[in-house]
Structure 1
Amino acid sequence: MSDLKVSFLGLGVMGFPMAGHLARAGYKVTVYNRTKEKAENWLEKYAGALATSPEQAAEEADIVFMCVGNDNDVMEIGTRALSAMKPNSVLVDHTTASADAARELNKHCADKGVHFLDAPVSGGQAGAENGQLTIMVGGEDQVFSRVQPVIDVYARHSQLLGQCGSGQLAKMMNQICIAGIVQGLSEALHFGQKAGLDCNAVVDVISKGAAQSWQMENRASTMLTNTYDFGFAVDWMRKDLGIALDEAKRNGSTLALTALVDQYYADVQKLGGGRWDTSSLLTRLK
């Protein structure tokens, strides 16, 4: 598998370490980033090649990975890369975007004889750096089977969930769950502080029972010290929740709690917390 030529487009806090894992696993990696300095920094740390455009990065690649910002970025960078991709190669989009964008890009890929997987990730920056991401995938089974061994270089679990767009829909479910859990944890810690309890001690107890969650085990202690300068930013969460809320309007589902928490995150943004971790919901209760 290390003979495969792979490219990675987008070297942000997620893409930078993900591409690094591919290089360390022995793949021939070409990287592209709109800010060239980030790509140059990547090359100082890992073995690979630098491309000055998505087209150049994609032209010889067997698999092109992409992790960019939003739907517009997905369509711009994705279609540019696609214009240079060879037949039977695969474009894998790790961006959290809409299912509609995934389906549209999939149609463009099919017209070119290129395969496509929408494959958003969960696990945050720490998961990317440690190679412990969870990856939700939409696409064809035979394409996923071909790419999965490469994806698993930086994933602890990857799973095909249905046709194109299914990965993005699953990521929406993921973010919906997180929003509700973080709000519940915030209210519980606020309640405990007002009641005069040792909240660290309480969390130590209740995290052993039915209230346990990843957020409780990984964020309660930092929430109690009012530390939020790390992790998954509120601005990014609002983007993701906006995608989920738009999809809910189309499919007729009711996301009352998600809509409420989205507005709570807007309150955090007004407090200057756009780049704070999503656990900063507690700040608006103080």
Structure 2
Amino acid sequence: MARVAFLGLGVMGFPMAGHLAASGHEVTVYNRTAAKADGWVATHGGRAAPTPRAAAEGADFVMACVGNDDDLRAVCLGETGAFAGMRAGAVFVDHTTVSAAVTRELATTAGAAGLGYVDAPVSGGQAGAENGQLSVMCGGAADHYAAAEPVIAAYAKICKRMGAAGAGQMTKMCNQIAIAGLVQGLSEALHFAEKAGLSISEVVEVISQGAAGSWQMSNRAATMEDGRFDFGFAVDWMRKDLGICLDTANETGASLPVTALVDQFYKDVQKMGGGRWDTSSLIARLRKLD
């Protein structure tokens, strides 16, 4: 069992930290809104710390799951940042989806301070976090990953090192690119079924068993039919991620025409007031166009 700090207790971080406590690790939590950290302690035990630095002091591993590049820098750097409190040889594990550039920047800073660094973005949404069934894609030195993997296992269905620092984030971009196209395709299929007078549930029952089947179809088709979009990953966060994908594609020379188009469709959903709806809300845009 390890001494672990967890920074960021949102819809993903709160249950992830809970799985660490349930696995027997000694967990200290930090959240920008202290009341949420206090609520976590009331539920899971452990203790709350007032700053990332205080949470990280004495920890073997420091996990983070925050919002974006700037949020990650804020919890890592400066006098109250986690790096200032970590002992030499401790490993920082970042579960936030951020740019590969900030990952490499922070990994270099951590290395200069004698710290390990693993970028470990996750996929599986809120349900995956709550059920301990996340896919975790990692980048970083092999020895740092090997040390962290048994701890990450508390909430992982699969955890795999993809390469050096930044490789985990690049893999997460592949994940978001694939999801964007899949959800738009599913939205169009369900919308087409509606306009054709077909039963969506019966259509899905049939086509989900063939080549069109997907996780999105199995888990979101019914709620999309009902117009319920309070599941999983919010549109605002998806647009943040797709922005990272498109910026990186410009740097690498990759062509992402469908991703660029779907990003604009999500912008339309935001204009409809759906920024906090989950990503399956693309179908709401099609219905509005009727």
Equivalent residues in 2 for 1:91-102, closer than 5 Å: 91-102=92-103
The one of 29, 32, 35 equivalent to 1:34 is: 32
Match status 1:207 vs 2:208? yes
Residue number in structure 1 paired with 2:251: 250
Residue number in structure 1 paired with 2:56: 58
What displacement does 1:229 show? 2.0
Paired with 2:121 and 2:232, the residues of 1 have a C-alpha distance of: 17
Residue number in structure 1 paired with 2:66: 68
Residue number in structure 2 paired with 1:112: 113
**3-state SS of the aligned residue for 1:231?**
coil
What displacement does 1:199 show? 1.3
**3-state SS of the aligned residue for 2:262?**
helix
**3-state SS of the aligned residue for 1:152?**
helix
Q: Deviations over 1:104-150 (max 9, x none)?
A: 00010011000000000000000000000000000111111111111
**3-state SS of the aligned residue for 1:159?**
strand
Residue number in structure 2 paired with 1:14: 12
Unaligned runs of 5+ in 2: none
Paired with 2:138 and 2:145, the residues of 1 have a C-alpha distance of: 8
Residue number in structure 1 paired with 2:194: 193
Match status 1:24 vs 2:25? no
What displacement does 1:230 show? 2.5
Paired with 1:64 and 1:130, the residues of 2 have a C-alpha distance of: 21
What displacement does 1:277 show? 0.9
What displacement does 1:282 show? 0.4
Letter in 2 for 1:39: A
Paired with 1:109 and 1:135, the residues of 2 have a C-alpha distance of: 21
Residue number in structure 2 paired with 1:160: 161
Paired with 2:41 and 2:19, the residues of 1 have a C-alpha distance of: 13
Paired with 2:94 and 2:242, the residues of 1 have a C-alpha distance of: 19
Residue number in structure 2 paired with 1:135: 136
Equivalent residues in 2 for 1:224-263, closer than 5 Å: 224-263=225-264
Unaligned runs of 5+ in 1: none
Paired with 1:178 and 1:73, the residues of 2 have a C-alpha distance of: 24
Paired with 1:202 and 1:147, the residues of 2 have a C-alpha distance of: 44
Residue number in structure 2 paired with 1:5: 3
Paired with 2:12 and 2:236, the residues of 1 have a C-alpha distance of: 16
Paired with 1:108 and 1:273, the residues of 2 have a C-alpha distance of: 38
Letter in 1 for 2:72: V
Residue number in structure 2 paired with 1:273: 274
Paired with 1:84 and 1:52, the residues of 2 have a C-alpha distance of: 13
Using structure 2 for the length normalisation, give the TM-score: 0.97
Paired with 1:284 and 1:7, the residues of 2 have a C-alpha distance of: 41
Q: CA RMSD in A?
A: 0.6
Paired with 2:83 and 2:129, the residues of 1 have a C-alpha distance of: 25
Paired with 1:243 and 1:255, the residues of 2 have a C-alpha distance of: 12
Paired with 2:160 and 2:148, the residues of 1 have a C-alpha distance of: 11
Match status 1:174 vs 2:172? no
Paired with 1:236 and 1:82, the residues of 2 have a C-alpha distance of: 26
What displacement does 1:84 show? 1.3
Q: Deviations over 1:50-75 (max 9, x none)?
A: 10001100111010000001000111
Letter in 2 for 1:85: M
Paired with 1:206 and 1:151, the residues of 2 have a C-alpha distance of: 35
Paired with 2:187 and 2:231, the residues of 1 have a C-alpha distance of: 17
Percent of aligned pairs sharing the same letter: 59
